[in-house]
Amino acid sequence: MLIEGSIVRAVEISDKNPKAWIFRLNNGGEYSTHLGRIDHDRIIGSKYGSIINLTKGKIIILKPTPREFIRSFSLKTQIMYEDDCAIACSVAGIGNGMRVGEAGTGSGALTTFLAWAVAPDGHVYSFDNNEKHLNNARQNLQLTGLQDNITLKLHDIRESVDIPELDAFFLDFSTPYEAINSVTRNLKSGGHLVCFVPNWGQVEQIIEVINLNPELILQRVFEINKRDFNVNPKKHIMRPKFRSIVYSGILIHAIKILS
C-alpha cells in the first residue's frame, strides 16, 4: 500500500506522447499538471497500478524504475543510458549486498542503477573530481530514495582511495586507463573492473594497462548496439525507427585474480 513518503510515477493515460511525473507523497501535498491537480491524499492508501481521474484526464500510478529516474534527471554531463547501465551491472553480476565503486559520478545515472541493484544491504561509493557535477548528482539522487545506499565523494580517482574489498569498480570518464591500477587495489580478488568508453583509441589504452597489470585478466570487450521499433497495432506498423541512437559505447570487462 502507498504511504506518506512513497515515491510514485504518475503517467497520463493517452495514445499521444503521454506525460509523466515523479514525486514523493506527502500528507496534504499536491502536484500541478496540465490535466489538473493531483492530490497526494487520493494516492496515499491506494496501490501501484491505480487509475486516478483528474479534471481533464486520467493518470495511472506506477513505481518508478531506474530508467524513469534517469529520464527525470537534470543532466550536466554525458550519462550512461539505462540499457548500458543494465548491461554493465549484469556483466559484473551486481546484486543485493554488494559494495561497489564508481567514477565519475557525472549526473548520477549509473549510480542510480548500481544503488538500485545493491539495495537494500549494499553500498555504492561514487567519486567525481568536479564539485558542480557532484552537487547536481546529489540533487538528482534525492528523488530516488536510494541515498542511504550511496556515498558521494569529491575525489580524483587517479589517486588512491581507502575503501578495500569492493565487489566491482566501474569507470566512465575519458581517461579510465589512468585510474585502473589505482582502483584495482580496491577490488577483492575475483572482483570486477568495468570500463565504458565511446572510442576505440581509449579501448586500446585500457587494454594495454590491463595487460601490464599482473592482478587483472581481460574478460570481454564489446560494443553496445540497439534498435528501437515504431509500433502501432491499429495501423499494423512494427518496424525499426528511421532515426534512433544505435551505438552508445564499448564495454571492457576484466577481473582481479588472487596474487
Ligand X SMILES: C[S@@+](CC[C@H](N)C(=O)[O-])C[C@H]1O[C@@H](n2cnc3c(N)ncnc32)[C@H](O)[C@@H]1O
Q: Pick between residue 39 and residue 178 the one whose CB is nearest to ligand X.
A: 178
Of the candidate spans 52-60, 151-159, 208-216, 224-232, the one that interacts with ligand X by CB under 6 A turns out to be: 151-159
Site map (CB under 6 A) of ligand X, residues 216-245, x = contact: ------------------------------
Q: Pick between residue 44 and residue 183 the one whose CB is nearest to ligand X.
A: 183
Q: Pick between residue 52 and residue 86 the one whose CB is nearest to ligand X.
A: 86
Contact between 202 and ligand X by CB under 6 A: the answer reads no
Contact between 133 and ligand X by CB under 6 A: the answer reads yes
Contact between 161 and ligand X by CB under 6 A: the answer reads no
Instruction: Tell me the DSSP string of the chain.
Output: ---TT-EEEEEE--SSS--EEEEE--TT-EEEETTEEEEHHHHTTS-TT-EEEETTEEEEEEPPPHHHHHHTSPPSS----HHHHHHHHHHTT--TT-EEEEE--TTSHHHHHHHHHHTTT-EEEEEES-HHHHHHHHHHHHTTT-GGGEEEEE--TTS-----SEEEEEE-SS-GGGTHHHHHTTEEEEEEEEEEES-HHHHHHHHHHHHH-TTEEEEEEEEEE---EEEEGGGTEEEE-SS---EEEEEEEEEEPP-
Of the candidate spans 54-62, 91-99, 104-112, 231-239, the one that interacts with ligand X by CB under 6 A turns out to be: 104-112
Question: What is the binding site for ligand X (CB under 6 A)?
Answer: 77-80, 103-104, 106-110, 127-130, 133, 156-158, 172-173
